[in-house]
A and B are shown apart, each in its own frame.
Chain A
């Protein structure tokens, strides 16, 4: 850190001798870079705006991925997640701001060699076999993984000689995942990796993504499944309508909407439940009641003591779901208000 800023010193003096607006920009850049190195940020967007014609896909977006992290870019469809990934892959240029991967331009071939990508591909050449596709993508990288290892990691054992066209939806996703990891890259961009997968296939892929990080890889994934972001990510960046509305650990996110949710079938009347200490709200949901509380335990004791027939008890953290909805909806409303 000290060494780096020492290096920058001459650069720091230069602008002060010069004049004009561009000098401020130089100073800012100089001041930011050492910090980024210290945090070992390996990919990020800095004040990035991306417009497609009149449509603003991303608006002044800042976020970073640090070494060894799984970052989930979470948002509803059309929020700008894919655009962010395309920018980080150097597939499109920002209208404003800086995109940096390994401290440089994402289009550098040196960076691409350390990067793997899983994109939403409508159709993959269907007559080539799985192992042929993997062989082709492996050849692009200097130190690819052995085929066996790739097949293992992507859960494609026994499918290697199948043409891509004969694979099921889940198998196709896994084959695309195999293409992303076969070059043994340090940084992976996974755009909606589990979209269209059934529950079991999704869990399998989650396990593989976790294994990647255990091996020291860094992953940025996009998803519109909260559960997925919660299950995988160290850090969640919530994006909506091209703007980042929140970022933090899954725990941070949940903390934003406090409390727990209790659900049970009980004979205690709703009004009495509402009157209990620590109950924020209670409502009837079919035969059960749903109780929002700040702390579950005291309310549970009270409920169980008062109603010995109480059944079908469930306690859940009032979760990410609420936090996410609150964030994206309030943001949506404010946008709507502005446009009015």
Chain B
């Protein structure tokens, strides 16, 4: 009798790496399916940047204004990438955390990072869809002429560029309440987009705002994307990359504070 408990512990299986990988893949697959089937999310995150691009780039811009439509692929691309991460990760996690779903996952033997990895992967897939869609529209209807390598570079930059915004989403996920999360995200998302020059080129903003822009992560991502087509402001790319890495670390630090605050709090 007394041996029963130790035996059970010895039975416990250390998961093989392939099993862990399988869990991550499944988690990501279902996270993506979950999001794409949610019209309010899928439509707003994909359609909003596309609609902006069509209205301001394709309809407003004169025929054959290739430079403008190319410029806007990079800036609205950044806008879309940010939206997918903030709404998918930030709002999604806030709701799942606030309503007990995350807790059920935590109680299960799911590897703790699978949940977050799935959300990052899903944000990146949405970023991929948005940037490819914008590029296609630009090439077909907007007179965008880019070399294949430039297009690939831009897509890669935009997709990887969702990482700092996923980190911001994570921080929001720990601080916001389910009811207030969408409003909170909009209050961050829209001003940040404007101030980073995603709607109006940053050069056309007042000097003070131009200065402020250099502190904002979307500015740095859009400048990296613009550099691909040679219309960035010619600042050091390494500086942009460092700024984005710095922002990622800062947001993860914030998320950590939120997580710890959460641990000690009445919850459920």
Say yes or no for B149: interface residue by CB 8 A criterion.
Answer: no
A52 near B99 with CB under 8 A, answer no
B109 near A109 with CB under 8 A, answer yes
In the bound complex, how far is the Cα of B15 from the Cα of A141, in angstroms?
A: 9
Number of chain A interface residues as a range: 35 or more
Say yes or no for B8: interface residue by CB 8 A criterion.
Answer: yes
Question: In the complex, which residues of chain B have a beta carbon less than 8 angstroms from the beta carbon of A91?
Answer: 103, 106-107, 268
Other-chain residue from B27, B37, B100, B268 in contact with A136 (beta carbon distance below 8 A): B27
A34 near B2 with CB under 8 A, answer yes
B99 near A122 with CB under 8 A, answer yes
With A40-B4, A136-B26 as contacts: A120 and B100 at CB distance below 8 Å: yes
In the bound complex, how far is the Cα of B23 from the Cα of A142, in angstroms?
A: 11
B104 near A37 with CB under 8 A, answer no
Question: In the complex, which residues of chain A have a beta carbon less than 8 angstroms from the beta carbon of B104?
Answer: 117, 119, 121, 176, 179
Q: Scoring A residues 89 to 102 as 1 if CB is less than 8 Å from chain B, else 0, what string do you get?
A: 11111000000001
Interface residues of A in 72-118 (CB under 8 A from B): 82, 86, 89-93, 102-104, 109-117
In the bound complex, how far is the Cα of B6 from the Cα of A67, in angstroms?
A: 14
In the bound complex, how far is the Cα of B97 from the Cα of A122, in angstroms?
A: 10
Q: Scoring B residues 77 to 117 as 1 if CB is less than 8 Å from chain A, else 0, what string do you get?
A: 00000000000000000011011110110111111000000
With A119-B100, A132-B30, A135-B26 as contacts: A55 and B266 at CB distance below 8 Å: yes
In the bound complex, how far is the Cα of B110 from the Cα of A116, in angstroms?
A: 12
Closest to A3 in B: B2
With A91-B107, A119-B100 as contacts: A127 and B26 at CB distance below 8 Å: no
In the bound complex, how far is the Cα of B265 from the Cα of A93, in angstroms?
A: 11
Say yes or no for B13: interface residue by CB 8 A criterion.
Answer: yes
Interface residues of B in 9-54 (CB under 8 A from A): 9, 12-13, 15, 19, 22-23, 26-27, 30, 33-34, 37-38
Shortest CB distance A11–B (Å): 16
Question: In the complex, which residues of chain B have a beta carbon less than 8 angstroms from the beta carbon of A53?
Answer: 266
Shortest CB distance A252–B (Å): 24
Q: How many residues of B contact A (CB 8 A)?
A: 40
B12 near A140 with CB under 8 A, answer no
In the bound complex, how far is the Cα of B12 from the Cα of A135, in angstroms?
A: 21
Interface residues of B in 105-142 (CB under 8 A from A): 106-111
Most chain A beta carbons < 10 A, residue from B106, B263, B268? B268
Closest to A118 in B: B104
B12 near A110 with CB under 8 A, answer yes
B2 near A38 with CB under 8 A, answer yes
A140 near B110 with CB under 8 A, answer yes
Interface residues of B in 238-268 (CB under 8 A from A): 263, 265-268
Question: In the complex, which residues of chain A have a beta carbon less than 8 angstroms from the beta carbon of B38?
Answer: 127
With A52-B265, A127-B38, A140-B108 as contacts: A122 and B2 at CB distance below 8 Å: no
A142 near B15 with CB under 8 A, answer yes
Q: Scoring A residues 157 to 187 as 1 if CB is less than 8 Å from chain B, else 0, what string do you get?
A: 0000001000000000000100100010010
Say yes or no for A137: interface residue by CB 8 A criterion.
Answer: yes
In the bound complex, how far is the Cα of B111 from the Cα of A158, in angstroms?
A: 31
Q: Scoring A residues 227 to 252 as 1 if CB is less than 8 Å from chain B, else 0, what string do you get?
A: 00000000000000000000000000
Say yes or no for A1: interface residue by CB 8 A criterion.
Answer: yes
Shortest CB distance B91–A (Å): 13
In the bound complex, how far is the Cα of B253 from the Cα of A220, in angstroms?
A: 38
Interface residues of A in 313-333 (CB under 8 A from B): none
In the bound complex, how far is the Cα of B106 from the Cα of A213, in angstroms?
A: 25
A114 near B12 with CB under 8 A, answer yes
B2 near A113 with CB under 8 A, answer no
In the bound complex, how far is the Cα of B33 from the Cα of A163, in angstroms?
A: 12
Say yes or no for A215: interface residue by CB 8 A criterion.
Answer: no
Question: In the complex, which residues of chain A have a beta carbon less than 8 angstroms from the beta carbon of B15?
Answer: 109, 142
Say yes or no for A16: interface residue by CB 8 A criterion.
Answer: no
In the bound complex, how far is the Cα of B108 from the Cα of A117, in angstroms?
A: 7
With A140-B23, A140-B109 as contacts: A122 and B100 at CB distance below 8 Å: yes
A37 near B5 with CB under 8 A, answer yes
Closest to A5 in B: B2
Interface residues of A in 117-147 (CB under 8 A from B): 117, 119-125, 127-128, 132, 135-137, 139-142
Shortest CB distance A144–B (Å): 11
Most chain A beta carbons < 10 A, residue from B2, B15, B110? B2
In the bound complex, how far is the Cα of B101 from the Cα of A175, in angstroms?
A: 13
Shortest CB distance A130–B (Å): 12
Other-chain residue from A3, A121, A127, A140 in contact with B100 (beta carbon distance below 8 A): A121
With A117-B107, A119-B107 as contacts: A125 and B101 at CB distance below 8 Å: yes
Say yes or no for A284: interface residue by CB 8 A criterion.
Answer: no
Question: In the complex, which residues of chain B have a beta carbon less than 8 angstroms from the beta carbon of A114?
Answer: 8, 12
5 sampled A-B residue pairs with Cβ under 8 A? A112-B107, A125-B34, A127-B37, A139-B23, A179-B108
Please name the 5 residue pairs, one residue from A and one from B, whose CB atoms are nearest each other, closest first. A110-B12, A122-B99, A127-B37, A52-B266, A112-B109
